């Protein structure tokens, strides 16, 4: 966070917009989010907009475009180079277990995995690539990605903007919101898991109350 603040405060005019776009794009692209603080960038941009240093509508539009393009880049990297991406240094850092969980998450949740993954730290960088590896149709991915990404960009910018132009208040708000959205995502994921488990149990055992056929069925 401190590094992002220092970099953005040293820039002026169009360079601020360019830096925000670059950082948000890289944070959204496959695995770069492990190292690039896109969420912190948007928070700082919101504070700068509240102080009148940049335009809120302009940074909202540019950051929204960057997040959609970045996630799309992650999707196509996963679709075209999935195994190689997983074997890369960053892919190995993610680990086979996390890749497996992300793959299961995408296959079981579908579009909701893309929308909710935007709000959860590590998933934000891994889910687009996992969706590509799972061969989710790009149109479906783009629809979910655009919806989730634009809401996320607007929400984080609004946190910075609504914090009265102070980084301390903005950081505190972001921490609270991150916890709440993480819990909400976990509850939704649990609901999907319970529903999927019930479907599997019903498929194995047949309708509730039905007796197994022993002869002449």
Predicted confidence pLDDT, tens digits, the chain (217 residues): 566 667 777 787 789 999 999 989 988 786 766 677 788 888 888 888 888 889 999 999 999 999 999 999 989 988 888 788 778 777 777 767 777 777 777 877 777 878 877 877 667 778 888 888 888 899 999 999 999 999 999 988 988 888 765 666 556 655 555 555 555 555 555 554 566 567 667 777 654 444 555 555 4
Q: What is the span of the domain harbouring residue 132?
A: 2-197
Q: What is the separation of C-alpha 193 from the centre of its chain, rounded to a whole number of angstroms?
A: 20
**Residue 205, in any domain of the structure:** no
**Residue 215, in any domain of the structure:** no
Q: What is the pTM of this model?
A: 0.71
Domain count, the chain: 1
Give the separation between CA 142 and CA 65, rounded to whole angstroms: 12
SS3 of residue 214 by DSSP: coil
**Residue 212, in any domain of the structure:** no
**Residue 214, in any domain of the structure:** no
**Residue 210, in any domain of the structure:** no
- Token pair 């946190």 in the structure block, residue: 159
């Amino acid at each position: 966070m401190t590094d992002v603040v220092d970099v953005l405060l040293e820039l002026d005019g169009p360079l601020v917009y360019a830096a925000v776009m670059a950082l948000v794009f890289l944070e959204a692209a496959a695995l770069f989010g492990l190292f690039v603080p896109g969420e912190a960038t948007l928070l700082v941009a919101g504070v700068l907009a509240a102080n009148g240093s940049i335009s809120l509508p302009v940074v909202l539009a540019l950051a929204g475009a960057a997040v959609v393009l970045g996630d799309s880049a992650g999707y196509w990297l996963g679709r075209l180079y999935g195994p190689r991406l997983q074997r890369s240094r960053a892919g190995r850092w993610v680990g086979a277990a996390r890749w497996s969980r992300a793959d299961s998450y995408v296959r079981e949740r579908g579009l909701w995995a893309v929308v909710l993954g935007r709000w959860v730290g590590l998933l934000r960088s891994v889910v687009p690539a996992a969706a590509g590896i799972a061969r989710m149709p790009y149109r479906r991915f783009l629809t979910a990605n655009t919806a989730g990404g634009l809401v996320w960009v607007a929400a984080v910018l609004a946190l910075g903007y609504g914090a009265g132009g102070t980084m301390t208040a903005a950081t505190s708000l972001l921490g609270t919101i991150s916890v709440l959205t993480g819990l909400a995502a976990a509850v939704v994921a649990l609901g999907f898991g319970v529903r999927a488990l019930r479907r599997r149990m019903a498929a194995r055992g047949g309708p509730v109350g039905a007796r197994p056929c022993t002869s002449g069925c």
